[in-house]
Structure 1
Amino acid sequence: MTIPVTRTAAPFDAVLTDLDDVIRLFDATEVSRLERAAGLPVGSTAKSAFGPGRGEPLVLGQLTKDAWVASTASGLADRVPAARARELATAFTRAPFRTDPEVVELLRAAREHCPVWIVTNGTPWLDEDLATLDLDGLAEGIVNSARVGVAKPDPGILLHAAERAGAAPERCLFIDDRLANVEAAAALGMTTVHFRTAADLRTALAPLLAGPVPPTRP
């Protein structure tokens, strides 16, 4: 006689999730308004802020906020007056943000089953920013590139996050909105989600949140 066995093992042992454009959403309304008023294409300030010589040093913790503002403004100064460039850069770094409530709810539910860690290409002042958000109970902790000195898609930060979570890479679920980061995680054997909407996350977490798998029938 075959005895049914209830499988209770979780589909993965840790969830590693990106922060920006997954959990945290920025409001670019004011920056876009200023760009249009200055005769610049919408998105010009962001392109300058994360352009060569700015984006990488920022997420590696090598720029202060004031230095980033000044550098971003310098990248716009050939198209608008210096004062307008500074206004745009300042507005960009002060853009309001909020959390996606559905994503937060899903991650809090996931944490009832396994560790959840945020893995972000962040800034040296990230803790200050996140203190304004209600993230209680969302994650065990944050792996911030500006603190560890390695940024996605470098596999080093992904392996560091898996170690902090206490899980083998192949037992991690990795969520990110940037394809390059998703591909880097997949190359390490992680299960991945190329995030576009909360529905992508809900689908990926369904096996974890569903609880024990029903017994296999003989």
Structure 2
Amino acid sequence: MTISGRAFDAVLSDLDGVIRFYDMAELEQLETSAGLPRGSTAEIAFAPETDLPLMRGEITKEQWIDSIARGLADRVPMERGRELGTTLAETKFRADDAVVGLLRQVRAAGLPVLLVTNATPWLADDLALLGLTGPAGLFDDVISSADLGITKPDRRIYETAAERAGTAPGRCLFVDDRQENVDAAEALGMTGLLYREPADLRGALTPLL
């Protein structure tokens, strides 16, 4: 059902790089002490062959850490690689209060807000740590790649999100920090927002609020 006078009838948001941000200081210190350039662990961890099985819910956290250690094995001992992988997996994170506040305004205005994310199997625990579930929850529904077994930019994850939002893709605003994910949403008729800072989201939501 289209809400009269609204530019969109649902807001679909990514998690990492939009709502959630990480503190990489501890990992960077460990990399330096191991003689590795900063970012080396993440480069291995988020390579498609290492990352996608996790995002599809096909492997556990421990298996992911082991795959990171194997990827670093030509540069550091396996034990040190597992330490780096574990530190990455347990990196502290925070929610951006400005973005959370904007999305809460959307819900207060009567529109559904859905999380659409390439996520680990422990996403529910992470959302609880961020304070985004329970009585003060931020989302009307959570579309997780680990639950569906498919990842963005597969069109099916967007179609599932629109269906659960109860509206047509063309009535959805999709927010993500990766261009390929925004492009896939726009190919289905969604309005895409390539996120860089809260002002981007605030501008896109002006017609709603």
The residue identity in structure 1 corresponding to 2:143 is V
Q: What SS does the aligned partner of 1:207 have?
A: coil
Distance 1:137 1:49 in 2: 30
Which SS does the other structure have where 1:103 is aligned? helix
Percent identical among aligned pairs is: 55
Q: How big is each residue's C-alpha offset from its partner over 1:133-175, in whole Å with a ceiling of 9 and x where there is no partner?
A: 2112411021000001111001100010010000100000000
| Greater share of helix | 2
**Is the 1:108–1:137 contact (alpha carbons within 8 Å) kept by the matching residues of 2?**
no
Gaps of 5+ in 2: none
For 2:154 and 2:122, locate their aligned partners in 1 and report how far apart those are by CA, in whole Å.
21
TM-score normalized with structure 1 length: 0.90
Q: Equivalents in 2 of 1:32, 1:104: separation in Å?
A: 28
Q: Which residue of 2 aligns with 1:144?
A: 144
Q: Which among 127, 131, 142 is matched to residue 130 of structure 1?
A: 127
Matches of 1:166 and 1:8, distance apart in 2: 15
Tell me what 1:175 maps to.
175
Aligned-pair CA distance for 1:40: 1.1
Matched position secondary structure for 2:207: helix
Report the equivalent of 1:212: none
| Count of aligned residue pairs for this structure pair | 203
Instruction: Note the 1:55-134 alignment, pairs <5 A.
Output: 55-113=51-109, 114-134=111-131
- TM-aligned CA distance change 1:86 to 1:137, over 3 Å: closer
Residue pairs, 1:191-210, within 5 angstroms: 191-209=191-209
Give the TM-score normalised by the residue count of structure 2. Answer: 0.94
Question: What secondary structure sits across from 2:43 in the alignment?
Answer: helix
Segments ≥4 residues shifted beyond 3 Å = none
CA distance in 1, matches of 2:168, 2:48: 34
Q: Could you tell me how far 1:83 is from its partner in structure 2?
A: 1.8
Deviation at 1:53, TM superposition (A): 2.2
Provide the C-alpha distance between the structure 2 equivalents of 1:63 and 1:87, rounded to a whole number of angstroms: 19
Change (3 A) 1:94 1:149: same
Aligned match of 1:214: none
Task: Tell me the SS of whatever aligns to 1:119.
Answer: strand
Q: Which amino acid aligns with 1:82?
A: M
Q: Which has more radius of gyration?
A: 1
Instruction: Quote the offset at 1:8 in angstroms.
Output: 4.6
In the alignment, structure 1 segments of 5+ residues that lack a partner are 1-6, 210-218
Measured in 2, the distance between the counterparts of 1:105 and 1:129 equals 19
Aligned-partner Cα distance in 1 for 2:85–2:128: 23
The equivalent residue for 2:33 is: 37
C-alpha distance in 1 between matches for 2:141 and 2:16: 15
AA partner of residue 202 (structure 1): R
